[in-house]
Chains A and B, each alone.
Chain A
């Protein structure tokens, strides 16, 4: 199956709650990236975590990486209706010269 599988496929929460999305992958990576995509638009790069890093923060975003379990999580704290979007992880392997996207998690934040 595809490198970069995400769960859950869909997540619905109330504004103010935290949202956690998970990404699992199969092969060795150099880094892992998270992107957001609003409906029918391009993807926006959120955060990149390198294989030698365990945790990274950016504003309300917190990303963790566990290379022993080949998994990453994206936490969005104090969610807002504007966070409603699809979120994708992408794993980068320098030797391959490309990144591979996961299936994505669709997040709905209800006002």
Chain B
């Protein structure tokens, strides 16, 4: 299995809702990432988990809460989001978090209304 699977593919949520994005990989990769991408812009790093521990938080607002239940799973919990948080959320994994190249999922297209 050489894929990163993200669910759901599309999500529409209100500003008072709580929702979660899910990401799964079975490549034995030990680093997992959340990126946010706005239209016509590069991906922006949000969080890095290395060996199931949060190693980088790029000053992301607390309305985004990451979780790594085990080495194969990564969640992003969403609460009280703003319309400007609408974007494509990408999950990625890499072998060891040492810049060895990422495998990306197809993303979740999030719309906040």
Contact = CB atoms under 8 A, between A and B. Distances in A.
Interface of A: 2, 4, 30-31, 33, 35, 40-45, 48, 88, 90, 92-94, 97-104, 106
Given A97-B48, A98-B48, A101-B43, A41 B102 contact: no
A42 B99 contact: no
A23 to B, nearest CB: 11
A43 B98 contact: no
B99 A93 contact: yes
The 8 closest A-B pairs by CB, nearest first: A92-B99, A42-B104, A101-B42, A42-B106, A43-B104, A48-B101, A45-B101, A94-B98
Contact of A45 (B43, B50, B90, B103): B103
Contacts of B100: 48, 92
Instruction: Tell me if A's interface is mostly helix, strand, loop or mixed.
Output: strand
Interface of B: 4, 6, 40-43, 45, 48, 50, 55-56, 88, 90, 92, 97-107, 109
B3 to A, nearest CB: 10
B101 A42 contact: no
Contacts of B90: 42-43
A4 B44 CA distance: 13
Given A94-B98, A94-B99, A98-B56, A40 B42 contact: no
Nearest to A86: B40
A106 B100 CA distance: 24
A43 B97 contact: no
